């Protein structure tokens, strides 16, 4: 059952007295004044409110009746209800004859404020539970069966197939405002759910539509002023286990994108599964050994010329003239650099398999 607190009670008083030139009291379910325009009456028991609580009806008190009651002044006292439960009493000080036309309106306003506060509390409660649920989802140690039951209690829309989107926002002093606005916009949608993972990062789990939807959504989002720096998306997901793995993989994709494609705003996890997988294994002994030839190359390349050449060579798919034109150098200069790369690393960038080796490795060292 909802209980009135002094903060909400005083808020009701302040709002009501801003439009009505009479003192307002709000009493709790025990008849104690917990909000009032007359601060001297706070924390005193109101016998008129106790009559309302006992009979569940409006009680009007004139000057003669007030003289017979303790802590009471002439006025109208009305029951405050929430979800048909009596939660307190609203008192308006003054001549009952004068107040009668306004009393019901003031009570309706008070009950609307109570309902609004309760809805906010419920939204905050659900938001906290949802955030905790999603953090547990991204923890492989947590059993999925328990998370499935909690999802049902939270009323989450898990209509498969789903898709996970990781949104990264630009920094700046107004980041909390922009992130809050975006979170509110996505959170109001009937399908899916969204939480903030960190400052400037939101994870949005939504129904799968089509491969073109992320690009179209970004075009609509940019004019909204949210400052979307990057969007990383998964493919269609069929189970809660898939959603877990996709959420974890998107964080790895984010790190890989920052290291290897800092200017690219939209990245599709399905198109980058292998490099993202390798990126997630950085620090692994086997991977470190695999990267040793490339590390040797970069250590020798103090000017960065060979790395830039290798970047362009891999991007141009090993096409000599296309790569030379892209870099603005002669074909022979390109060939010389490629020979240097092969000599230092022991890997031949002219061979498709070893070019792939070098291309993947560049995103990991």
Phi, psi of 174 (to 5 degrees): -90, 10
Ordered DSSP codes for 44-82 = -B-HHHHHHHHHTS-EEE-HHHHTTSTT--SEEEEEEEE
Average of per-residue pLDDT across 9-15: 94
How confident is the model at residue 360, as a pLDDT? 87
What's the CA gap between 33 and 39, in Å, rounded? 10
pLDDT tens string 67-92: 888 778 899 999 999 999 999 999 99
Percent helix, strand and coil across the chain, each to the nearest 5:
55, 15, 30
- Which homologous superfamily does the CATH classification assign to the domain defined by 157-279? Reverse transcriptase/Diguanylate cyclase domain (3.30.70.270)
Q: What contacts 349, CB < 8 A, 6 or more positions away? A: 310, 313, 314, 318, 338, 341, 342, 355, 358
Q: What secondary structure letter does DSSP report for 271?
A: G
State both tokens at 195. Answer: 């939480």
Under CATH, which number does the domain 6-123 receive? 3.30.450.40
- Torsion angle defined by CA atoms of residues 196, 202, 203 and 206, in that order, rounded to the nearest 10 degrees: 110
pLDDT tens string 162-200: 999 999 999 999 999 999 999 989 877 767 888 898 999
What's the CA gap between 135 and 295, in Å, rounded? 36
Among residues 312, 313, 137, 165, the alpha carbon closest in space to that of 253 is found at 165
Domain-wise residue ranges, the chain? 6-123, 157-279, 281-362
Please list the residues that pair with 202 across neighbouring strands: 167, 196
How confident is the model at residue 190, as a pLDDT? 64
What's the CA gap between 281 and 288, in Å, rounded? 9
What's the CA gap between 114 and 120, in Å, rounded? 10
Coil, strand or helix at 350: coil
Domains 157-279 and 281-362 share a fold: no
Among residues 101, 46, 103, 100, the alpha carbon closest in space to that of 71 is found at 46
pLDDT at 125 over 90: no
- Torsion angle defined by CA atoms of residues 10, 15, 16 and 17, in that order, rounded to the nearest 10 degrees: 80
Average of per-residue pLDDT across 201-211: 89
pLDDT tens string 288-342: 999 999 999 999 999 999 999 999 999 899 999 999 999 999 999 999 999 999 9
Q: What secondary structure letter does DSSP report for 224?
A: G
Coil, strand or helix at 253: helix
pLDDT tens string 214-239: 999 999 999 999 999 999 999 999 99
Please list the residues that pair with 59 across neighbouring strands: 77
How confident is the model at residue 1, as a pLDDT? 64
State both tokens at 62. Answer: 């004139």
218-239 exposure pattern, b = at least 16 Cβ within 10 A, e = fewer? eeebeeeebbbebbbbbbbbee
pLDDT tens string 239-296: 999 999 999 999 999 999 998 889 999 999 999 999 999 999 988 999 999 999 999 9
pLDDT at 127 over 90: no
Strands 266-268 and 228-233, sheet pairing: parallel
pLDDT tens string 23-62: 999 999 999 999 999 999 999 999 889 999 999 999 999 9
Q: Domain 281-362 belongs to what topology? A: Arc Repressor Mutant, subunit A (1.10.10)
Average of per-residue pLDDT across 349-360: 90
Tell me if 170 sits within 8 A of 182, measured CB to CB. no
Coil, strand or helix at 256: helix
pLDDT tens string 209-219: 877 889 999 99
- Torsion angle defined by CA atoms of residues 327, 332, 338 and 341, in that order, rounded to the nearest 10 degrees: -100
How confident is the model at residue 363, as a pLDDT? 78
Cα 336 to Cα 297, 332, 340, 348: the distances in Å are 15, 6, 6, 12
């Amino acid at each position: 059952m909802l209980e009135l607190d002094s903060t909400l009670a005083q808020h009701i008083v302040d709002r009501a007295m801003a439009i009505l030139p009479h003192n307002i009291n709000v009493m709790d379910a025990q008849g104690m004044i917990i909000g009032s325009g007359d601060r001297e009456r706070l924390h005193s028991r109101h016998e008129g409110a106790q009559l309302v609580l006992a009979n569940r009806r409006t009680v009007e008190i004139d000057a003669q009746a007030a003289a017979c009651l303790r802590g009471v002044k002439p006025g109208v006292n009305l029951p405050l209800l929430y979800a048909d439960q009596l939660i307190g009493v609203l008192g308006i000080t003054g001549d009952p004859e004068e107040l009668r036309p306004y009393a019901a309106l003031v009570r309706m306003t008070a009950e609307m404020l109570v309902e609004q506060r309760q809805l906010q509390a419920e939204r905050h409660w659900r938001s906290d539970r949802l955030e905790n649920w999603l953090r547990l989802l991204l923890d492989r140690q947590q059993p999925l069966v328990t998370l499935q039951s909690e999802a049902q209690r939270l009323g989450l829309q898990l209509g498969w197939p789903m898709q996970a989107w990781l949104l990264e926002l630009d920094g700046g002093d107004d980041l909390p405002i922009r992130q809050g606005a975006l979170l509110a916009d996505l959170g109001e949608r009937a399908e899916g759910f969204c939480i903030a993972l960190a400052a400037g990062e939101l994870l949005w789990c939504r129904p799968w539509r089509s491969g073109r939807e992320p690009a179209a959504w970004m075009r609509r989002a940019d004019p909204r002023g949210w400052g979307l720096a990057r969007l990383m998306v998964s493919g269609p997901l069929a189970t809660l286990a898939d959603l877990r793995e996709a959420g974890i993989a998107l964080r790895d994709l984010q790190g890989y994108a920052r290291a290897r494609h800092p200017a690219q705003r939209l990245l599709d996890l399905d198109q980058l599964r292998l490099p993202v997988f390798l990126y997630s294994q950085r620090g692994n002994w086997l991977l470190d050994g695999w990267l040793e030839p490339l590390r040797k190359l970069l250590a020798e390349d103090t000017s960065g010329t060979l790395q830039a050449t290798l970047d362009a060579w891999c991007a141009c798919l090993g096409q000599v003239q296309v790569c030379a034109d892209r870099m603005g150098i002669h074909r022979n200069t390109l060939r010389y650099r490629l020979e240097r790369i092969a000599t230092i690393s022991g890997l031949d960038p002219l061979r498709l398999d070893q070019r792939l080796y070098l291309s993947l490795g560049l995103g990991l060292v």
